Amino acid sequence: MNDALIVSNVVLWVAVCVLGLVVVALTRQIGLLHERIAPVGALAVERGPAVGDVVADLAVESLDGQRIEFGAGRDDEQKILLFFLSPTCPVCATLLPTLQRMVQAQSEQTRLIYASDGPRAQHEAFSKDKGLAASDYVLSRELGLYFEVSKLPYAVLIDASGTIRAKGLVNTREHVESLFEADRMGVASLQQFLMTESDPNDEATREKGAA
């Protein structure tokens, strides 16, 4: 009887040790997977002016008649986050509070401009319903054609010199954040940065250029 009890205890402890090793192994694998999961950036679109290009001397009027410039001729020190939307786009409406909080966190270094086209009355009603300033809302088909916007919501980050710093489709808060992060890192997009980091040839090229 005692021998059976001893054997059962030994078997139990062996099972506990094996389970412990399995948990440690799984925990390690989860950690490795977490490290490999890349941040999701805004979906870069290879259409329209590229990141690094200077925006043409575009100037459009806001809903309240103010002139807004996007190119190199601007006389302010702010960046512009140009957000293309539509009153019928539910994702666009959902992102509005997030965009506003992000821009406020920039300590007045960035101005948020809403852009679209279509019936003026519809946009006036939409901007009023969402509490969007008429001075920051523009209707311009020319603007959408220039940036070749084909899907919404779409955003372009333009610096004070009129240079495009980042752009892409933005469906989530993380997508919008990636535009500011790409600007901070000096890359066209987070996807491009991650691809470059994973390519040893590109890394060697960068080191050679830096030398």
DSSP characters for 94-145? Answer: HHHHHHHHHHHTTTTSEEEEEEE-S-HHHHHHHHHHHT--GGGEEE-HHHHH
Interhelix angle 190-198/200-210, rounded to 10 degrees, is 100
**Would you kindly state where each structural domain of the chain is located, as residue ranges?**
1-28, 59-197
User: Mind listing the pLDDT tens digit for each residue in 21-67?
Assistant: 767 666 665 544 433 434 455 666 678 999 999 999 888 999 999 99
Residues 59-197: name the CATH superfamily: Glutaredoxin (3.40.30.10)
Mean pLDDT lowest for which of 55-64, 161-170, 194-203? 194-203
Helix/strand/coil for 25: helix
**Around Cβ 13, how many Cβ atoms within 10 Å?**
10
Q: Which residues, other chains included, contact 144 with Cβ-Cβ below 8 Å and sequence gap of 6+?
A: 84, 115, 116, 117
- pTM for this one? 0.74
Whether the predicted pLDDT of 127 surpasses 70: yes
User: Mind listing the pLDDT tens digit for each residue in 4-27?
Assistant: 667 676 667 777 676 767 676 666
**pLDDT for residue 204:** 44
DSSP H stretches of helix in the chain: 2-36, 90-104, 120-130, 141-146, 173-185, 190-198, 200-210
**Around Cβ 41, how many Cβ atoms within 10 Å?**
24
Whether the predicted pLDDT of 96 surpasses 80: yes
Exposed, middle or buried by CB within 10 Å (0-12, 13-18, 19+), for 124?
middle
Whether the predicted pLDDT of 209 surpasses 50: no
